[in-house]
A and B are shown apart, each in its own frame.
Chain A
């Protein structure tokens, strides 16, 4: 079985400051890793994912995450945030045996609050 822990429930940050949202996971098997974003009253949108290869993955809007197998972490970072980044962020895993479209296990979420 897998589990995901997002270490911060809320992260307040000023506009143009850097931010890190922390995610640790637990699994007895190899996993795929995902970050999803949820804007108010909307569904989930995939931000980025790690399936294999380079441990550093990037999104088109400036976010990046690094897979650290030894620390079982997949922290999300952005060097300079915008007001529009205010949202709920979810870290998720799925076991490789299920394929990358299988059952997702989500963390509790981190609310990113960007202040002007």
Chain B
């Protein structure tokens, strides 16, 4: 059983460009959340998707957008990249069908460097 898978693992972009990161949740999970982890910091919540809709959002600008597909996989898009967007982007998946004792699983992340 594959866990949470993310792609690409590493990428380098130039300021002003756009980037798309992808996430496949753990089998049986229907909810996907995205986090940004800057170097030396704790992860910060970007947003969460369930039933192909954004359900919760953190304090991130509209340059950050996402999408969830019918198969529960998700994309994170960042437009007009800034140097400060350089970070590890983590995808987390969970299930709404088992509420008690449920666990959030994280992928290994996508390292984004903006130059």
A106-B99 contact given A42-B108, A44-B90, A44-B106, CB 8 Å threshold = no
For the complex, is A55 an interface residue (Cβ under 8 Å from B)?
Answer: no
- What interface size band does chain B fall in? 20 to 34
By the criterion CB–CB under 8 Å, are A101 and B90 in contact? no
By the criterion CB–CB under 8 Å, are A105 and B45 in contact? yes
Closest to A45 in B: B106
Cα distance, A42 to B3, chains bound together (Å): 13
Q: How many residues of A contact B (CB 8 A)?
A: 24
Q: Which of B12-20, B36-44, B76-84 contacts A (4 or more CB under 8 A)?
A: B36-44
A101-B106 contact given A44-B43, A90-B43, A106-B43, CB 8 Å threshold = no
Which A residues are within 8 Å of any B CB, using their own CB?
A: 4, 36, 41-46, 49, 51, 90, 92, 98-109
Query: What are 13 A-B interface contacts by the 8 Å CB criterion?
Result: A4-B42, A43-B4, A46-B103, A90-B43, A100-B102, A101-B96, A101-B102, A102-B56, A103-B45, A104-B33, A105-B45, A107-B42, A108-B42
The list of the 5 closest CB pairs from A to B, nearest first, reads A106-B42, A101-B94, A43-B106, A44-B106, A43-B108
